[in-house]
Structure 1
Amino acid sequence: MESTTLSATSTFEQDIHEGLTASFKNISSKYFYDDLGSVIFQDIMKMPEYYPTPCEFEILSLQGEDILRKLNFDEPFNIIEFGAGDGIKTRQLLKKLMENQVDFTYVPIDISQKAIQELEANMLDYLPGLKIKSLIGNYFSMMEDLFALQEPGLFLFLGSNIGNYQDPEANDLLGQFYQHMKTGDKLLIGFDLQKNPAVIRDAYDDSQGITKAFNMNLLQRINKELGGNFKKEFFDFYSHYNPVNGEVRSFLVSLKEQEVYIANLDRTYPFRQNELIWTELSKKYTLSEIDILASNNGFELIENFLDCKHYFTDSLWTKQ
């Protein structure tokens, strides 16, 4: 077992400044996942309203052998997971591969060192003998190193993370994947599917306030890491799902006219009463949109693995 800390180039200060001076204020959802944010997200995944986690858990638990057959690897390979989190869903697939005596090395990547440490402990407790080589850092900054690995690769981008990107950004990310993958490498990518809007609404605005706490932690992170003086009691949370375009958009709302000072930037940022800070996009796809997205970025779609409710799919692509 190896654990390597990679120094990612931080753009936190620059992104916060640009986001809070934009005509429509925004904070990128990639900053949700500090140590506390990662813990809160684990709580979100345990909520009964939050269907993506159990749906994907079902797929990886029950269809692991089908996925294995479609990989068509005849030599040792790496399973590289971007934003691994706690790995509970992924270990269902890994368990199935180990039961079939498949020779692979698991390479989980997460920006949170705490999340990686807990992942390693849980994985090795559940799957003794698992070959694991963890990486801590921002996978965007280590793309070249990851794709320089000699063995064939199955790359995991699970949990509907692709839905957090607007179309140009999603295509740019998939283009980076394609550029650095070898011919025959596979990408297993999670997509949340369009469904009853009420189901989606409840998943992203829960009555317990856990999603609100997840968003509010962005302000706490700015306070802690950048010397901000955000006061959480002066902000609220709002989430909206548009079933026409399949987009969930989440916001923090300034409850009063106020100013926030950030010491590291030595800047004061004004807020109007009811002004929004856009924090997250979570797009829901149709199967035809997934097919188009794969094709437009040079991939061949091998198969969509669906849960029993058809709420979610793990879509297997290959680089030809």
Structure 2
Amino acid sequence: MNELLVDSPFRQDILKGLSANPKYLLPKYFYDARGDELFQQIMHCPEYYLTQAEAEILSLQSRRILERCANTSGQFDIVELGAGDGSKTIFLLQEALRMQCSQQYYPIDISPSMIAYLNQNLGAKLPGMQVSGLAGDYFDMLEQLQTANDQPKLVLFLGATVGNMLPREAVQFFQQLKSFLRQGDHVLVGFDLKKNPQTILDAYNDKGGLTKAFNLNLLQRINRELGANFQLHQFSHFPVYDPITGSCKSYLISTCDQRVTFDDDTVIAFERDEPIYMEVSQKYSKTEIQQLASQAGFKPVESFYDSRHQFADVLWRVSSE
């Protein structure tokens, strides 16, 4: 066992989740190098409509989004939480350069490999845009930026990442986010909208098995980094969607009675058919989005939809009103 990892947050969180009843794992740990690769593939698979819908919004409506920010802020920095590979954000950044309203982009991501990729590649695609990637916790990095300068900010939280929280958790997240912002700053949030339940289930259970592999990869990461002996073939992937609450939840189901041992001799027992709760992908109605903004203390500015109204990028402003 690597002594340096004994008290790592990763180990602590994994063992805490697997010792709970019911068992759970935190979705932020999906994103190791292999997880990043699998998620990029998921975003381009036919069933995963979210990426195409948001790319349509940003490719066609970035000017309007930025105009609504520039009306009150003039020049501003663009900060992105959970930046990923930047494939959709580049539309907004290109438009910001054309409009001369921003020349500074701070992508923040928990994945060091994604930040390294952006730092190395994105600047060459955006002459005139300073790309300064930050790897780490969103709020830790925002605190650094808050003390570094007082430039107005447009904070991006795209890709329906907000859906990885239940609504009450989302309210707390945005209240905390607001504490790092100043009056007049803006936030652009991606929301997946409630729609035909089968369309949603298909997006999280693609025929190619990418989402299944993405979930199982976290068990493989635990094996590699914590010396566990998960047998991946003894777990099945199971998504469910509740059209009333809008919660699409993913589970890994143990297919037999089994015991998993870690490198510190910790043993986690599973009963046959016992679930591990992996993540939620929350869907919202337009009314629920408005309510969330109000509860978190933001002023809604404008909502931007794809042509099928499957997805929305919603602009909020920090206001004293």
TM > 0.5 fold call: yes
Aligned pairs (5 A) from 1:223-302: 223-264=223-264, 266-302=265-301
**RMSD between superposed Cα atoms in Å:** 1.4
Question: SS at the partner of 2:104?
Answer: strand
Identity of aligned residues (%): 46
Q: Which digits, 9 at most, give the CA deviation of each residue in 1:23-57, with x for residues without a partner?
A: 10000111111111111100000101101101100
Question: Which secondary structure does the structure 1 equivalent of 2:217 belong to?
Answer: helix
In 1: Cα distance, 2:13 partner to 2:248 partner: 22
CA distance in 1, matches of 2:178, 2:8: 24
Aligned-partner Cα distance in 2 for 1:138–1:36: 20
Match of 2:10 among 12, 18, 21: 12
Separation in 1, partners of 2:47, 2:16 = 34
Tell me how far apart the structure 2 counterparts of residues 108 and 142 of structure 1 sit (CA, whole Å).
10
The CA deviation at 1:120 is 2.9
Instruction: Find the partner of 1:50 among 48, 51, 58.
Output: 48
Q: CA deviation at 1:10?
A: 5.2
Counterpart contact for 2:187–2:317, Cα < 8 Å: yes
Contact 1:34/1:111 (<8 A) preserved: no
Residues 1-320 of structure 1 aligned to structure 2 (within 5 Å): 11-71=9-69, 72-148=71-147, 149-264=149-264, 266-320=265-319
Would the aligned equivalents of 2:238 and 2:250 in 1 still touch at CA under 8 Å?
Answer: yes
Residue in 2 that maps onto 1:5: none
Q: What's the CA shift string for 1:92-130, capped at 9, x where partnerless?
A: 011111122223300001122221222234322322232
For the residues of structure 2 that align with 1:171 and 1:147, how far apart are their CA atoms? 21
Q: Cα deviation per residue 1:153-201 (whole Å; 9 max; x = unaligned)?
A: 1001100011111223211110111112100000000000001111111
Alpha-carbon distance in 2 for matches of 1:141, 1:230: 33
| Structure 1: runs of 5+ lacking an equivalent | 1-8
Q: Alignment partner of 1:180: what SS?
A: coil
Deviation at 1:73, TM superposition (A): 4.6
Encode CA deviations 1:61-81: one digit per residue, 9 max, x unaligned: 100111011002554321110
Q: Comparing 34-43 with 113-122, which one deviates more in the overlay? A: 113-122
- 160-169 or 190-199, which deviates more: 160-169
Is the Cα–Cα contact under 8 Å of residues 79 and 153 in structure 1 kept in the other structure? Answer: yes
- Cα distance in 2 for residues equivalent to 1:74 and 1:180: 17
- Separation in 2, partners of 1:145, 1:122: 23
Aligned residues: 311
Match in the other structure for 2:3:
none
Residue 250 of structure 1 aligns to a residue whose secondary structure is strand
Unaligned runs of 5+ in 2: 1-6
Q: Secondary structure at 2:273's aligned position in 1?
A: coil
| Rounded Cα–Cα distance in structure 2 between residues aligned with 1:232 and 1:253 | 11
Determine if contact 1:302/1:317 at 8 Å carries over to the other structure.
yes
Q: Tell me which amino acid in the other structure corresponds to 1:88.
A: S
Q: Which amino acid aligns with 1:177?
A: L
